[in-house]
């Protein structure tokens, strides 16, 4: 069952060359969001959110979720895009005596690692910037789980890509709106009523909600756990179906 | 001297080009007459592309003078650009545009008169045999089609001198022949052709004169036949235990006589440009 | 008039992908507008502040973003730039054509953002000077795009520069919140960035329909400076 290892190992090799590049890009955009929205907009305009938390405190779990989601999904989509359509190296994996499950799990892990890395950077930034913030222990469980669910979503999308235009379309139409609306920058109950229901179709929504519970030191509802597990299984099955279809 | 500079198609005098500490050209002298097909032959990295970039105003020499069509290249680049057509080694067409749109863009850049534009584009699409593909995006073209469109584009503004950088690199044999035919037809219509290649057959079958460039210097110059004759028109070739050895003779009879004294498999054949090149540089082509 | 074909060429390419460029330009500004409208309520004072900032943001990303990629890829990878360099047109035409094409696209996207925001909030003024100021921003960042593309050795370097310099600028130059609110020296420093004066002037023009000429002059000076920089770099590249 260690067949997934080469896929992760290949990813680690690229980390070695691009570590600083990743570090800078993963630090920059959460930093900008925290500074400009949390400190700039929220403080200046005295924006308060339900439960009387300041906008900056509200933002932290949202930005963590945003960073995990963005980087897990986009890294794995881009890797699969180049590997399948550009360099055609994906065929080499298909030719190796590796099960479909190992192939899938390998790619999910590579994306999850990037998501986790990005999430940890945001936690560090939060410790530096947000006065009085505490990082609860259950994050050790929830952050990796969040990264894995997001990454499995990315793997499925990556398996579906047919062209460069597809990637742009998915990014602009699906991923960007999803990443901002799924309770990351605005509380769900501030959304218009129809969107409040619709947004539960996004796999990012249970992630943000669970992280919000964790940061508030409240127990995470069991239903969120079930929902996340269901997304993971669903994306796994969908990816498996895409892989089978490609064999025809 | 001055007369030659103005009469010849291309005159190159003591040209050097440095990229940082790397000397790409180390003093090149060369003259190409009007109406000639001239081939610059050399291995990869010999300075062929650099020389074309200098001649076509895309780069400036570090030293020496270049004259194209009677104009000094570094002083009158715009006049030179009007006289020349360039077929680059890499396909630099706009991939998102159709073949016809690419030609239209070129016609606009070179300010062809409005009434001539359409007629000239149709004429050239027919000339290179791309009428049926004219309205498809260049993205879907094969290598040969893209190369033909590049040639059509280079010819659009009726240049007097055509530069082709490795015109048949990466093409299959039938397409390659088709390109050669195109070049020859053009030459008969009076266009001077300057091409670089590292294919021996291309230089041999197409060019009136060939210059061999290696290490940034021209090391031999003449018609393919002259270059072979200088070495000896006939070659005796045999495998001597570890490596293939070649000896050259001015006549078939002398070659035959020498070959008869050798044991084992011996070939007697006409000398080709590849032999010239290997003897001159000690390198294998391609 | 040698620059006209260049604008035409970009127009032809964009004609086939207009939806992608439009969507790419409109997406983020409109999402931010919606988010803050929901967070604050649609009649909040903050939206008056935010909209001109979003228009500036849209103008910057639409005129800079695509042009810098277009130019870098065409110079280093596809070598399409050679075709333009071989044409008998001057360096200035070559630059002006690209800057106008990139800037026009920024202007179109920013105008659309402004129109949508006007439909949602309805308290903004349309004036000629607003578009003059907007056009200056677009030309400024289109010039910057060409300058960056002349120096960068590939799309990764462009990405680093865009992420480290241009992207933060769209957030910290008075677009989302007043620069006085930046900590300490940063507030002063922000006024030395090319976007800040322009954003403030856009806001003044949109909300109060008055223009502060020193701000207009500042951004015009930036625009000329970047155009000159791009010109010099293009000449430098041409002479390798």
For residue range A104-124, list pLDDT tens digits in order: 999 999 999 999 999 999 999
For residue C20, list chain A residues with Cβ-Cβ distance below 8 A: 165, 168-169, 172
For residue C171, list chain A residues with Cβ-Cβ distance below 8 A: 32, 35-36
Inter-chain touch B57–C85, beta carbons under 8 Å: yes
- C178 touches A at CB < 8 Å: yes
According to the model, what pLDDT value does residue A247 have? Answer: 55
In this prediction, residue C66 has a pLDDT band, given cuts at 50, 70 and 90, of: confident
Cβ atoms of B55 and B10 closer than 8 Å: yes
For residue C12, list chain B residues with Cβ-Cβ distance below 8 A: 94, 96-97, 101, 105
Of A47, A169, A187, the CB nearest to C40: A47
3-state secondary structure of B24: strand
According to the model, what pLDDT value does residue A50 have? Answer: 63
Alpha carbon B30 to its chain's center: 14
Please state the domain count of chain C: 1
Class of domain B2-223: alpha beta
3-state secondary structure of A219: coil
Cβ burial, residue C213 (10 Å; 0-12/13-18/19+): exposed
Sign of the four-CA dihedral A240, A244, A245, A247: positive
Q: Is the pLDDT of residue B78 over 70?
A: yes
Range name among B83-92, B162-171, B255-264 with the lowest pLDDT average: B255-264
According to the model, what pLDDT value does residue A189 have? Answer: 84
Structural domain harbouring A38: 5-246
Alpha carbon distances (Å) from A178 to A73, A109, A233: 12, 22, 20
According to the model, what pLDDT value does residue B283 have? Answer: 61
According to the model, what pLDDT value does residue B2 have? Answer: 56
Closest residue by Cα to residue A147 from A188, A84, A203? A203
For residue A43, list chain C residues with Cβ-Cβ distance below 8 A: 181
Q: Is the pLDDT of residue B33 over 50?
A: yes
Q: How far apart are CA B126 and CA B131, in angstroms?
A: 6
In this prediction, residue B140 has a pLDDT band, given cuts at 50, 70 and 90, of: very high
Of A28, A176, A187, the CB nearest to C163: A28
Cβ atoms of B124 and B103 closer than 8 Å: yes
pTM: 0.85
Provide the angle, in degrees to the nearest 10, between the axes of the packed helices A100-129 and A139-160.
130
Alpha carbon C113 to its chain's center: 13
The pairing of strands B10-19 and B22-32 is: antiparallel
Supply the DSSP symbol for C179. Answer: G
Q: Is the pLDDT of residue B117 over 50?
A: yes
Residues 128-167 in C contacting A (C-alpha not used; CB under 8 Å): 156, 159-160, 163-164, 167
Question: Burial code of A22-49, b = ≥16 C-beta within 10 A, e = fewer?
Answer: beebbbbbbbbbbbbbbbbbbeebebeb
Across the range B166-173, mean pLDDT stands at 87
Q: What is the mean pLDDT of chain C?
A: 89
DSSP string, C159-174: HHHIIIIIHHHHHHTT
E strand intervals along chain A = 48-49, 53-54
Cβ burial, residue B270 (10 Å; 0-12/13-18/19+): exposed
Which residues, listed in sequence order, are joined to residue A116 by a DSSP beta bridge?
A: none
pLDDT above 90 as % of chain B: 49
Q: Is the pLDDT of residue C38 over 50?
A: yes
According to the model, what pLDDT value does residue A177 have? Answer: 92
Range name among B9-13, B34-38, C63-67, C217-221 with the lowest pLDDT average: C63-67
| Closest chain C CA to residue A40 | C177
Q: Is the pLDDT of residue C23 over 80?
A: yes
Q: Which of C86, C91, C238, C239 to probe the B interface (max B CBs under 10 A)?
A: C86
In this prediction, residue A21 has a pLDDT band, given cuts at 50, 70 and 90, of: confident
In this prediction, residue B102 has a pLDDT band, given cuts at 50, 70 and 90, of: very high
Cβ atoms of A10 and A83 closer than 8 Å: no
- Phi, psi for B142 (deg, rounded to 5): -80, 170
According to the model, what pLDDT value does residue B3 have? Answer: 66
Of residues A81 and B120, the one with the higher pLDDT is B120
Q: How far apart are CA A124 and CA A128, in angstroms?
A: 6
- C2 touches B at CB < 8 Å: yes
In this prediction, residue A174 has a pLDDT band, given cuts at 50, 70 and 90, of: very high
First and final C-alpha spacing in chain B:
36
For residue range C119-174, list pLDDT tens digits in order: 888 888 889 999 999 999 999 999 999 999 999 887 788 888 898 899 999 998 98
Q: Is the pLDDT of residue A44 over 70?
A: no
Closest residue by Cα to residue C56 from C34, C35, C32, C20? C32
Which residues of chain B does CATH 3.40.50.300 include? 2-223
Q: How far apart are CA C167 and CA B119, in angstroms?
A: 48
The pairing of strands A48-49 and B22-32 is: unpaired
Q: How far apart are CA A52 and CA C157, in angstroms?
A: 43
Closest residue by Cα to residue C151 from C66, C57, C236, C38? C236
For residue B94, list chain C residues with Cβ-Cβ distance below 8 A: 9, 12-13, 80
pLDDT above 70 as % of chain B: 98
Q: Is the pLDDT of residue A56 over 90?
A: no
Q: Output the CA angle B73-B78-B82, nearest 5 degrees.
A: 100
For residue range A205-246, list pLDDT tens digits in order: 999 999 999 998 889 999 999 999 999 999 999 999 988 876
Inter-chain touch A24–C35, beta carbons under 8 Å: no
Helix (H) or strand (E) holding A115: helix A100-129
Q: Is the pLDDT of residue C109 over 50?
A: yes
In this prediction, residue B286 has a pLDDT band, given cuts at 50, 70 and 90, of: very low
Cβ atoms of B151 and B141 closer than 8 Å: no
Inter-chain touch B94–C5, beta carbons under 8 Å: no
In this prediction, residue A74 has a pLDDT band, given cuts at 50, 70 and 90, of: very high
In this prediction, residue A154 has a pLDDT band, given cuts at 50, 70 and 90, of: very high
For residue range C193-223, list pLDDT tens digits in order: 999 999 999 999 999 988 999 999 999 999 9
Inter-chain touch C13–B57, beta carbons under 8 Å: no
Q: How far apart are CA B149 and CA B127, in angstroms?
A: 10
3-state secondary structure of B10: strand
Alpha carbon B107 to its chain's center: 24
Q: How far apart are CA A26 and CA B77, in angstroms?
A: 47
Which residues, listed in sequence order, are joined to residue B37 by a DSSP beta bridge?
A: B193
Structural domain harbouring C45: 4-238
The pairing of strands B192-197 and B10-19 is: unpaired
Range name among A37-41, C62-66, C196-200, C221-225 with the lowest pLDDT average: A37-41
Please state the domain count of chain A: 1
Across the range C110-119, mean pLDDT stands at 93
Inter-chain touch C78–B90, beta carbons under 8 Å: yes
């Amino acid at each position: 069952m260690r067949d997934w290892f080469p896929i992760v190992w290949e990813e680690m090799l690229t980390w070695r060359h691009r570590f600083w590049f990743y570090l800078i890009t993963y630090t920059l955009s959460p930093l900008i969001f925290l500074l400009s929205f949390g400190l700039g907009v929220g403080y200046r305009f005295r924006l308060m959110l339900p439960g009387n938390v300041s906008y900056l405190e509200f933002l932290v779990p949202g930005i963590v979720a945003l960073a995990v989601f963005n980087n897990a999904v986009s890294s794995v989509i881009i890797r699969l895009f180049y590997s399948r359509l550009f360099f055609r190296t994906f065929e080499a994996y298909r030719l190796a005596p590796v099960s479909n499950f190992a192939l899938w799990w390998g790619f999910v892990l590579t994306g999850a690692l990037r998501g986790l890395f990005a999430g940890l950077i945001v936690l560090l930034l939060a410790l530096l910037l947000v006065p009085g913030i505490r990082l609860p222990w259950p994050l050790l469980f929830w952050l990796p789980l969040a990264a894995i669910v997001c990454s499995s979503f990315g793997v499925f999308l990556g398996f579906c890509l047919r062209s460069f235009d597809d990637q742009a379309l998915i990014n602009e139409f699906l991923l960007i709106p999803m990443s901002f609306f799924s309770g990351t920058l605005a509380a769900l109950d501030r959304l218009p009523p129809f969107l409040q229901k619709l947004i539960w179709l996004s796999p990012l929504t249970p992630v943000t909600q669970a992280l919000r519970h964790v940061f508030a030191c409240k127990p995470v509802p069991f239903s969120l756990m079930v929902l996340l597990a269901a997304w993971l299984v669903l994306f796994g099955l969908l990816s498996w179906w895409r892989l089978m279809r490609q064999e025809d | 001297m001055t007369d030659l500079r103005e009469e010849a198609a291309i005159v190159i005098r003591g040209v050097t080009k440095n990229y940082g500490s790397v000397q790409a050209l180390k003093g090149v002298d060369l003259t190409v007459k009007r109406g000639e097909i001239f081939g610059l032959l050399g291995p990869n990295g010999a300075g062929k592309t650099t020389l074309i970039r200098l001649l076509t105003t895309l780069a400036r020499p570090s030293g020496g003078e270049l004259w194209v069509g009677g104009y000094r290249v570094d002083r009158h680049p715009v006049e030179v650009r009007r006289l020349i057509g360039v077929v680059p080694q890499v396909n630099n067409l706009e991939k998102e545009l159709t073949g016809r749109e690419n030609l239209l863009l070129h016609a606009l850049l070179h300010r062809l008169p409005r009434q001539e534009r359409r007629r000239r584009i149709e004429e050239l699409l027919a000339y290179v045999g791309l009428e049926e593909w004219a309205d498809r995006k260049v993205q879907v073209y094969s290598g040969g089609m893209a190369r033909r469109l590049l040639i059509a584009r280079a010819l659009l503004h009726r240049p007097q001198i055509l530069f082709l950088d490795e015109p048949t690199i990466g093409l299959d044999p039938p397409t390659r022949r088709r390109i050669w035919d195109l070049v020859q037809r053009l030459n008969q219509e009076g266009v001077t052709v300057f091409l670089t290649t590292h294919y021996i057959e291309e230089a041999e079958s197409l060019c009136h004169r060939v210059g061999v460039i290696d290490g940034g210097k021209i090391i031999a110059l003449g018609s393919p036949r002259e270059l072979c004759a200088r070495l000896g028109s006939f070659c005796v070739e045999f495998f001597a235990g570890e490596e293939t050895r070649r000896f050259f003779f001015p006549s078939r009879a002398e070659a035959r006589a020498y070959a008869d004294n050798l044991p084992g498999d011996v070939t007697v054949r006409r000398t080709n440009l590849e032999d010239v090149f290997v003897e001159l540089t000690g390198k294998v082509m391609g | 008039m040698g620059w006209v074909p260049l604008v035409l060429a970009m127009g032809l390419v964009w004609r086939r992908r207009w939806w992608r460029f439009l969507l790419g330009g409109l997406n983020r500004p409109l999402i931010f507008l919606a988010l803050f409208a929901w967070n604050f309520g649609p009649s909040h004072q903050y939206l008056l502040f935010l909209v001109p900032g979003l228009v500036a943001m849209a103008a910057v990303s639409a005129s800079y973003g695509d042009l810098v990629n277009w130019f870098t890829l065409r110079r280093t990878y596809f070598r399409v730039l050679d075709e333009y360099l071989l044409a008998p047109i001057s360096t200035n035409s070559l630059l002006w054509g690209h800057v106008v094409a990139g800037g026009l696209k920024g202007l179109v996207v920013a105008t659309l953002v402004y129109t949508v925001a006007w439909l949602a909030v309805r308290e903004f003024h349309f004036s000629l000077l607003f578009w003059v100021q907007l056009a200056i921003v677009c030309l400024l960042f289109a010039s910057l795009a060409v300058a960056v593309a002349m120096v960068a050795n590939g799309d990764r370097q462009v990405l680093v520069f865009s992420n480290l310099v241009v992207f933060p600028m769209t957030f910290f130059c008075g677009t989302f919140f007043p620069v006085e609110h930046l900590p300490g020296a940063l507030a002063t420093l922000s006024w030395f960035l090319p976007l800040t004066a322009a954003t403030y002037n856009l806001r003044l023009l949109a909300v109060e329909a008055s223009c502060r000429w020193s701000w207009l002059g500042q951004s015009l000076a930036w625009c000329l400076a970047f155009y000159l920089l791009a010109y010099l770099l293009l000449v430098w590249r041409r002479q390798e």
